[in-house]
Chain A
């Protein structure tokens, strides 16, 4: 059997290798100082797709990303590692999207690709850390979702059943679902295989197709800033200092005190 697989990927600033100039004076991320990389969890997702392709020859992997035209670099990287094709969804009106608008846009792109068996994405991106886009896409497409996946244990064509190991607090959980579905993959899953020499040479100059909002039939009200109810009010650069730390015990008194304090500070509520 052959599967149609879509992998969602994002080009992100490499926040794992932060230098002294990583933040601007205003406390925002200095993107110019950080190299743009393939979001790490998305590489784990790509590996799960490649493992499926190894097991089910003839399967196709399409990678999509939303971002600036330079995000084609990660599509190319995915091709080097074994993906079959990829698209960059790029358009000025798509800029400033929050997770709602992003998931809408990506869902539209998936619809354009057509019938898909499995949609894989990383659990979250290292720049936003929301972990919302994958689940929202599943909701928008009306598909089952399995999050925090670590390994696809089995897949049966006849029954369309897929068994997935999930990473949960303190252990693992094995779940069964039917595809089509959306799977978000945890960073603890198998690392992505390296690029391949022949593929590097074959795809080094391949044109990476771009789709704009119109190509994927987006409603202008649901994309970019217009489609994003989230507003960033302010970004603060918080520097924790050792002297500000306190040690709390597990007593009811200490815990209640902490909850009240956090409510007062409007950190939770």
Chain B
């Protein structure tokens, strides 16, 4: 029987990363839940064994329940009935399966009913769900909004809401409005305090809200009268049980048909403040978005995996000129490059997940200690800062690069299918349509380059790449000097040369001292940094598991080197005078 975990040893490989041990120790507070909860681990080995078993379960549910439903969900889609959203019928089956399998509240502490798994393990479930059905991943993964409520809500709110999410209630983040998409500072949904009933009231409209008829909403609204920017926005919790929000319509989309994109009307809807006033956008939505962006990296990786699977199976099966088309260099070149980009996406995705795990868990420990009048040690504080910065730099890199790769892989997936790929009978066309949104929502690739921009110009990525070349990992303390197996040393040398070109292109850009010029070439620099980072990560993976990643490391290094060369040439030959050619 198919199993997306057992069938993809590349996923399991990422459980062997040395940083995971430290993450689990922190997450489990030295295994202090053992004995208190019958499902809490005794030690790292026990935890790892539990993760593998639960991932095996997720691999079964995704392969045998969610994936077989994907075509029907795509064909049916959700609809609106009496101002309520109704999912495609098979989506209910998917939800029922994930709830019964207990795959909710995955990262939440046990005291609220969660599994207390690290983000790195949640990430593995996430990519398998996306592999099964890109659209359903949205509905399932919106559970990670609870991270924001858990971090910034008060204890009473945690006690009321976190257990509900752990039991399978769904969430949404209501941010976008007709005139506030990428520019969330323009949000106008009005929040007013109702003195009589001692609660907040929401009035207005939200648009493009994924899973907008969820049970628990996090809503960005303008609480400060007379303000027009981000400082007047606060975050609210709206509980569907209280009523007051109608679904006006559902968007008719190119892809991810199973994921309902709703237009919502708030009619004096009762809501409660989450965290402090005025920090809605500045602090909480940024946290929410970073989580969502990592989620999209997983969604992209899963979608890429399925697009590759479909293309590979077709290429083995389809015969032309007396042999399977996979035997033709023009076809196996495409497949090898698809797989290399897939493996590169995955290694970047898990690396970022681990960074998020490290700093978020340390921050959580810090919150707990503060309640007892204690603090993080200086070492822990430094550790938290290191990983927080890495997570902040790697999240926009992971989101942008993996989603662009997912599109390239889905595109080539259709190409491998030839004329059949253009017909609606084959899954590759659905994957191609589904992939298209990945580079757009939760911040377009162009916005990811903005978020990553400061780490390019201030030299942080350059430092990270240097550290990774030295130790195979960043920070260097996580890796070791002998990280690169002898057979891959020539690849490492090649990446070192790529890094030199990247650094030269960054220096050249900074020397122009022209922000508009920088913004024009930033995408090129962003991709160069991504090429270098993913190449090193893949070489490190291949050094440990050459049978799994050796081919991909070599194919990717060649691909990345040519990409770096291309971008280098573009940047180094561009000048501020060229801007005029681009302006419209």
Contact = CB atoms under 8 A, between A and B. Distances in A.
Interface of A: 17, 193-202, 204
B148 interface: no
Contacts of B102: 196-199
A200 B97 contact: no
Interface residues of B, number: 20
Contact of B38 (A17, A193, A202): A202
Instruction: Tell me the dominant secondary structure on chain B's binding face.
Output: helix
B75 interface: no
A197 B101 contact: yes
Contacts of A202: 38-39
Contact of A195 (B1, B38, B39, B57): B57
Contacts of A196: 100-102
A204 B60 contact: no
Given A17-B1, A201-B53, A204-B49, 12 more contacts: A193-B101, A194-B57, A194-B61, A194-B100, A195-B60, A197-B39, A197-B54, A198-B102, A198-B115, A201-B54, A202-B39, A204-B53
Contact of A194 (B39, B49, B53, B65): B65
Nearest to B102: A197
B50 interface: yes
Nearest to A35: B1
13 contacts: A17-B1, A193-B96, A194-B61, A194-B100, A195-B60, A196-B101, A197-B115, A198-B39, A200-B50, A200-B57, A201-B54, A202-B38, A204-B49
A138 to B, nearest CB: 30
Contacts of A204: 49-50, 53
Contacts of B38: 201-202
Contact of A201 (B50, B65, B96): B50
A200 B115 contact: no
Contacts of B60: 194-195
B101 A194 contact: yes
Interface in B84-121: 96-97, 100-103, 115
Given A198-B39, A204-B49, A193 B97 contact: yes
Contacts of A197: 39, 54, 57, 101-103, 115
Contact of B53 (A17, A193, A200): A200
The 7 closest A-B pairs by CB, nearest first: A201-B39, A197-B102, A202-B38, A196-B102, A194-B101, A193-B100, A202-B39
Interface string B64-91: 0100000000000000000000000000
Nearest to B50: A201
A65 B96 CA distance: 28
Nearest to B125: A197
Contacts of A200: 50, 53-54, 57
Most chain B beta-carbon contacts within 10 A, residue among A195, A201, A202:
A201
Most buried by A among B50, B65, B97, B100: B100
A194 B103 CA distance: 11
Contacts of A195: 57, 60, 101
A153 to B, nearest CB: 20
Contacts of B97: 193-194
A193 B168 CA distance: 15
A70 B103 CA distance: 28
Q: Give the one of A17, A195, A196, A197 with max B CB within 10 A.
A: A197
A202 B33 CA distance: 13
Interface string B38-63: 11110000000110011001001100
A202 B36 CA distance: 12
Contacts of B115: 197-198
Contacts of A198: 39, 102, 115
Contacts of A201: 38-41, 50, 53-54
Contacts of B57: 194-195, 197, 200
A199 B97 CA distance: 15
A204 B52 CA distance: 12
Nearest to B98: A194
Contacts of B103: 197
Nearest to B166: A198
Interface in B513-559: none
Contacts of B96: 193
Interface string B221-257: 0000000000000000000000000000000000000
Contacts of B49: 204
A194 B63 CA distance: 12
A198 B40 CA distance: 9
Which residue of B39, B40, B50 has the most chain A CB atoms within 10 A of its CB atom? B39
Nearest to B42: A205
Nearest to A206: B38
Interface string B105-146: 000000000010000000000000000000000000000000
